[in-house]
Amino acid sequence: MMSQMPQPTALSRCPSCEEPLEAGDRFCGACGFDLSAVPAPPADSPTITMNGTAPRPPSAAPSVDWPVAPEVDSSDTPAPVHLPTDLRGTESGGSELPHAVGASGAGQEPVAGPSGVRFDRPAEPDEYPLAAPQQPAAPAAAPAVAPAVSAAPADPRTADLATPAPGTKLCVACRSGNVDSDGYCENCGHAQPRERDHMEQELGAVAAVSDRGLRHHRNEDAFTISSTALPDGAPAVVAIVCDGVSSATRPDEASLAASRAAGEALLDALPLGTHPQQAMHDAIIAASQAVNSLADAPGSDAEHLPHVNAPACTLVGAVVTPTLLIIGWVGDSRAYWVPVDRSSPPARLTEDDSWAAQMVAAGLMNEAEAYADERAHAITGWLGADAYELEPHTASFKPDRPGVVVVCTDGLWNYAEAAEDMAEVVPLDAALRPLHSAQVLVGHALDGGGHDNVTVAIVPFPAPSQGAGSA
């Protein structure tokens, strides 16, 4: 569940007592806290070491030292056209990246998942035996007369049921009653499953799964996965995941509109040669505009419903090519890097726009303390008409080894927060079986309690050379 917290560029509340501050205050008027002692938040220059912890010392396991692609101008000036061959990567040590980068990951054999991962649910039999319908006994007083046999109710699992009339929908439980406009059977009263309660999609080298969870009454997450081709014919795989802000109105509509708008913007821009990082930035702007349009309402509605917040959501997306990995986000949905070779360290690729992340960045709490606070998930950045200021974050990397990108909402990472925890639950064959891996991760969240909607997309890197398509 998400909650909003408007956040100006400076601290809006005292880090010590949470009292509101006025612009230009140097000391808190309530407790006297010296505001000049609070370090300024770091500039938005994301790197893969974004898990809120100090970098590993040189003596520890080798870090993933990826070269970062050049910064992209976020102004309205059209981005220069680049081809993947123009952007040469390097190895961690600085040497030239081999031309066959990522080819080693194509022939890997599937291996068993890590210990402790539960695969959805116990196995079930292929068929369930059906009891023969009982026939009424013949009357004893009239043995010569054929007994009157009453018609047994049709078993919905075996009966040849009539096709429902156009415009009507039959109940999934009794298969005989019509479903009313509220989603309930008029015959047995059974609530019908909604389309977005559980969604799965696989498209070549990318897959995504979304589930309502065990506590929410509806699924307020949404995703879009697709693929296209760059001007030189190289593939580009896209995954967008959005989480509706539950404290806002119509969060399910906001997440759906944002995911569709961002996905469409990327599919339009990438084939034209727009740099993928600029294309991601523009896609987030398009998603924001789509969510903002949901807030357009007659003045009378806004006047009589002052308590209703504008629709809002978070967004995280990934674009994967044969050589580049692009991440973009607003809010606290996340992306993780998990290498195929698990002897290499995983990494978190995003920095949350949240109260907890702000406290950690200001040096007022460590990560464990901040995320244990009840205010931890109050977000300071989101897409919506009432957002204080839209600041799309983008980062571009050139991995020097194959792996998978996990793009997810907090419904998953609440149960695997650190990069090491996420790598522990990602199956070892995730690059070869992305849909299965997404199913396993959703199952991990549900096994952990399923307190929120959970959505995850798995995108292998590098993007395989195959026919482009979209969905």
Residue whose tokens read 């997309």: 457
CB-based contacts of 94, cutoff 8 Å, min separation 6: none
C-alpha distance across the termini of the chain, in Å: 28
> Which position has the higher pLDDT, 149 or 370?
370
Contact predicate 453/198, CB 8 Å:
no
Residue 194 has a pLDDT of: 78
Selection from 33-47, 84-98, 177-191, 446-460 with the highest mean pLDDT:
446-460
Condensed to tens digits (0 to 9), the pLDDT of residues 212-245 reads 999 888 999 999 999 999 999 999 999 999 999 9
What mean pLDDT, rounded, does the chain reach?
Answer: 76
Contacts of residue 439, defined as CB under 8 A and 6 or more positions apart, other chains included, come to 120, 200, 209
Assess whether pLDDT exceeds 90 at residue 22. Answer: no
Q: 374: pLDDT confidence band, cut at 50, 70 and 90?
A: confident
Edge-to-edge strand ranges of the sheet holding 454-461: 198-203, 206-211, 454-461, 403-408, 334-339, 347-348
| pLDDT-based confidence at residue 183 (cuts at 50, 70, 90) | confident
Q: CA 214: distance to chain centroid? A: 17
Q: Are 202 and 436 in contact (CB under 8 A)?
A: no
pLDDT of residue 392: 94
Whole-angstrom Cα distance, residue 208 to residue 196?
13
* Tens of pLDDT, residues 280-335: 999 999 999 999 999 875 443 444 454 568 999 999 999 999 999 999 999 999 99
Q: Which residue has the higher pLDDT, 27 or 187?
A: 187
The answer to whether the Cα torsion of 363, 368, 369, 373 is positive or negative is positive
Residues, the chain: 471
Please provide the DSSP assignment of 121-159 as one string. S----S--PPPPPP-PPPPTT-TTSPP-PPPPPPPTTTS
- The structure's pTM equals 0.64
